[in-house]
Amino acid sequence: MKTKTPYIAAVILFILFNVIAFAIPTSKTSAFWICYAFTTVAFAVQCFVWYLTIGKKHKPKSRLLGLSVVYIGAVYLTVQFIVFLVFMFVSSAPWWCAVLICTLVLGISAICMITTNAGTGIIVAVEDKVEVKRRFIKDLQIEAEMLSETETDNAVKQKLTELAKKIRLSDPMSDPSLSELENEISAKIASIKNSEDKIYAIKEAEIMLLKRNKKVKELKG
The tens digit of pLDDT for each residue in 11-36 reads 999 999 999 999 999 989 999 999 99
Residue 144 lies in a domain: no
Claim to verify: residue 126 and residue 155 sit in the same structural domain? no
Claim to verify: residue 178 and residue 216 sit in the same structural domain? yes
Domain encompassing residue 209 = 151-220
Claim to verify: residue 125 and residue 157 sit in the same structural domain? no
The tens digit of pLDDT for each residue in 108-129 reads 989 888 887 665 555 555 555 5
Please state, for a pLDDT cut of 70, what percent of the chain lies above it.
Answer: 83
Between 39 and 128, the more confident residue is 39
- Stated pTM of the model: 0.56
Mean pLDDT of the chain: 83
Query: Measuring CA to CA, which residue among 206, 124, 208 is closest to residue 160?
Result: 206
Task: Please say if the pLDDT value at position 162 is more than 70.
Answer: yes
How confident is the model at residue 8, as a pLDDT?
A: 87
How confident is the model at residue 104, as a pLDDT?
A: 96
Claim to verify: residue 84 and residue 26 sit in the same structural domain? yes
User: Which CA distances in Å does 6 have to 2, 44, 60?
Assistant: 8, 12, 21
Claim to verify: residue 78 and residue 169 sit in the same structural domain? no
Claim to verify: residue 100 and residue 171 sit in the same structural domain? no
The domain boundary, picked from 77, 97, 130, lies at: 130
CA-CA distance, 159 to 145, in Å (whole number)? 11
How confident is the model at residue 60, as a pLDDT?
A: 44
The residue-averaged pLDDT of 185-205 equals 89
Task: Please say if the pLDDT value at position 94 is more than 70.
Answer: yes
Least confident residue range of 52-56, 61-65, 136-140, 164-168: 61-65
Claim to verify: residue 195 and residue 93 sit in the same structural domain? no
Convert 98-124 to b/e letters by CB count within 10 Å (16 or more is b).
beebbeebbeebeebbeebbeebeebb
Claim to verify: residue 123 and residue 165 sit in the same structural domain? no
